[in-house]
Amino acid sequence: MKGLRLLLPFFLAAALAAQVKKTFRGEVMDSQCAKMGSHDLMMKKAGARDTKECTVDCFRMGGKYVLYDAAAKTIYLLDFHQDAQPFVGLKVNVTGVYDKALNTIHAVTVEPLPSPASSPLR
């Protein structure tokens, strides 16, 4: 049994490697606000100054970091909670393997999208 436990991570890694990577676009936010489709209610309730502060506060209250695709109104769980902090409140591209059973993106790369203010099309 102990040998099986030692091999399990290798089998999991091999299974993930065999899956196709895909790029997802959305905002890194907390699960509570994503379910509502907006930070508005929680920002008023908690007195947060901006979406980043709202997301961090909701995470501290037990929420999870998620990728929220507002266009598709879809929520994806992220498997890199500790590494998500720098991207909180930002719109990003997440490239990784999607686990449909867990509704989780196993991220390989995360890239912030340019903000509209810095867009050359102004």
Report which of residues 110 and 18 the model is more confident about: 110
Structure tokens at 4: 């099986």
Residue 15 lies in a domain: no
Confidence of residue 122 (pLDDT cuts 50, 70, 90): very low
Residue 120 lies in a domain: no
Residue 100 lies in a domain: yes
Q: Which domain holds residue 90?
A: 20-113
- Overall domain count for the chain: 1
Q: Decide if pLDDT at 68 tops 80.
A: yes
Pairing of strands 74-78, 104-112: parallel
pTM confidence score: 0.76
Task: State the DSSP H helix or E strand holding residue 10, giving kind and residue range, or none if neither.
Answer: helix 2-18
Residue 96 lies in a domain: yes
Type of residue found at 103: N
Residue 2 lies in a domain: no
Report which of residues 5 and 72 the model is more confident about: 72
Per-residue model confidence (pLDDT) at position 46 = 81
Residue 119 lies in a domain: no
Is residue 14 classed as helix, strand or coil in its secondary structure? helix
**DSSP notation for 80-113:** -HHHHGGGBT-EEEEEEEEETTTTEEEEEEEEEP
Residue 107 lies in a domain: yes
Residue 62 lies in a domain: yes
